[in-house]
Amino acid sequence: MKKVQEELRIFGGQKDFLDEEDLQKCIYLNAVIKETFRLYPVPLLMPKETNEKSWENPQKFYPERFLESSIDVKGQDFELIPFGAGRRICPGMHMGLAALELILGNLLYSFDWELPEGVKNEDVDIESLPGLAPYKKNPLYLIARTKMELNNDIYIV
**103 part of the interface to ligand HEM, by CB under 6 A:** no
Select from 16, 53, 56, 88 the one that contacts ligand HEM (CB under 6 A).
88
The answer to whether the beta carbons of residues 81 and 14 sit under 8 Å apart is: no
Phi-psi region of 81 (alpha: psi -120 to 50; beta: other; left: phi over 0): beta
- CB nearer ligand HEM, residue 34 or residue 65: 34
Q: How many CA atoms lie within 13 A of 28 on its CB side?
A: 13
For residues 116 and 153, what is the distance between their CA atoms, to the nearest angstrom? 11
Which among 5, 74, 62, 67 has a CA at the least distance from the CA of 30?
67
Q: CB 103 → ligand HEM: shortest distance, Å?
A: 10
- Give yes or no for a contact between 66 and 137, defined as CB atoms under 8 angstroms apart: no
Closer to ligand HEM at the Cβ: 41 or 145?
41
**Interacting span for ligand HEM (CB under 6 A) from 49-57, 90-98, 114-122, 145-153:** 90-98
Q: CB 48 → ligand HEM: shortest distance, Å? A: 8
Shortest Cβ 36–ligand HEM spacing (Å):
10
Cβ-based neighbours of 90, under 8 Å, separated by 6 or more: 83, 84, 96
Tell me which residues in 6-45 interact with ligand HEM (CB under 6 A).
42, 44-45
Residues 44-83 that bind ligand HEM (CB under 6 A): 44-45, 82-83
What φ, ψ does residue 145 adopt, rounded to 5°?
A: -110, 130
Q: Which stretch binds ligand HEM (CB under 6 A): 17-25, 62-70, 88-96, 102-110?
A: 88-96
**Residues in touch with ligand HEM (CB under 6 A):** 42, 44-45, 82-84, 88-92, 95-96, 100
